[in-house]
Chain A
Amino acid sequence: MSTVLVIDDDPLIREVLRILLTRAGHLVALAGDGEEGIERLHAMPADLMILDVRMPVLDGFGVLAHVRARCVGLPVLMLTAEPHSGARAVEAGADAYMRKPFVNDELLGCVERLIAGAG
C-alpha cells in the first residue's frame, strides 16, 4: 500500500485520479493548489507526487523546487497541458511527465514504475 499525493487545481481531474488510483489499490491524498500540497506533504509523507503545472498560489514548478530542496527521494510525476513544459519539467527535476489528457492505463503504469523505482 503506497500513498500518492495528487496536487491539481481542477476538482474533476483530482476526482478522476482519486478513483483511478484508489481502484489500483493506492492511498490517495488530494490538494487543490501548490501551498496546500506542500502542507499535506509535511503532514503526511507520500511515496509519489502527481503534480499539475498551472495552478494558483504556487504552481507546479514552485512545488517541484520545494520538493527537490526538502524531500530528495520523492518521485514526482508532472502532468502538463502545455506543448513544451514536459521537457522543462524533466529539466526542473521531475522523474516523469505525462501530457494531459492521459490514457488511464499508461498513467497507472507510470505510477507503478516510479514507486517501484523509488522503493
Chain B
Amino acid sequence: MRVAIASTGNALSDNVDLHFGRCEYFVFYDTDNGQCEFVLNPNRDKEENVGPESVQLITSYGAEKVVSREFGFRIKSLMMEKKIQMIVLQQDKTIEEVIGLLVNNGKGK
C-alpha cells in the first residue's frame, strides 16, 4: 500500500508540511517494498483549486493514506469519495520519523 506524505523538502530529514495542497514535495512511501519516491508538487504556487488538484495527483500515484499537518476545508469530502484515509499530525515530525512509524506498524501485523 502506498502512503503519501506532504513534505517541506526533498530529503528524509525534512519536516511534514503544514499544508496539504501547497506542500513543496509529496513523498510516496510503499509499505510493501519500502520504496520511497519524492515528487515535486506542481500545485504549490498556484492561486486556487490547489486542494482538489493535489488530491488528483496523489490518487494518480495510487496512495491510500495521506499524512499532513493540516487539510483544507474542501479536502475531506473529496478524500472520502476517493477512499483515501487522512492522517493529521498534531506536532512536528520529520519524514524519516513518519516512515519509521509506518515500518513499525507493518511489523506488528
**Is A bound to B?**
no
Chain A positions within 8 Å of B, measured between CB atoms, are none
